[in-house]
Amino acid sequence: MPAAEERRLPMSPTLVVALAWLVPGLGHLLLHRRQRAAVFALVVVASFVVGILCQGELILPKQGDPLSFVATVATLGNGILFFIAKLLGLGDGVSTAVTYEYGNAFLLTAGVMNLLLMLDAYDIAVGKKDW
């Protein structure tokens, strides 16, 4: 069997990307990149947890604040972490907390990292990237 056929996935790259967004590291795990999956999941989840502990805000769109829409994309990039935090009543942010801005930076960074990892998983899934 040719090498290209051996690497063919039983699922579509689109599904891999969607699962990579939903659960950090899952896309790489499905692509049999276990070590990368573990490291990426750890980094994204740790950054998210630090952001929550620093009383950062999971930013949603605000009327009259166009940059809040960009921040919302980054926030939603956290996938299921965002939804779990919201269900638990976390991520409202405490703007008077000394660590509030740091928390926001960690939460936004975690989301953007996960979005970039989705792109990485896609590249691997379609064969553009081998490592």
Residues in CB range of 111: below 8 A, 6 or more apart = 73, 74, 75, 76, 77, 78, 82
Q: Is there a domain that residue 113 lies in?
A: yes
Contact 81, 88 (CB under 8 A): no
Q: Is there a domain that residue 19 lies in?
A: yes
Q: Is there a domain that residue 130 lies in?
A: no
Q: Is there a domain that residue 65 lies in?
A: yes
Q: Is there a domain that residue 51 lies in?
A: yes
Q: Is there a domain that residue 36 lies in?
A: yes
pLDDT at 1: 38
Residues in CB range of 13: below 8 A, 6 or more apart = 122, 125, 126
Q: Is there a domain that residue 131 lies in?
A: no
Domain containing 12 equals 3-125
Contact 10, 29 (CB under 8 A): no
> 23-51: b or e for each residue (b if 16 or more CB lie within 10 Å)?
bbbbbbbbbebeebbeebbebbbebbbbb
Q: Is there a domain that residue 114 lies in?
A: yes
For 66-117, how does the pLDDT look when each residue is reduced to its tens digit (9 = 90+)?
999 999 999 999 999 999 999 999 999 999 999 999 999 999 999 999 999 9
For 1-42, how does the pLDDT look when each residue is reduced to its tens digit (9 = 90+)?
345 445 556 679 999 999 999 999 999 999 999 999 999 999
- Number of structural domains found in the chain: 1
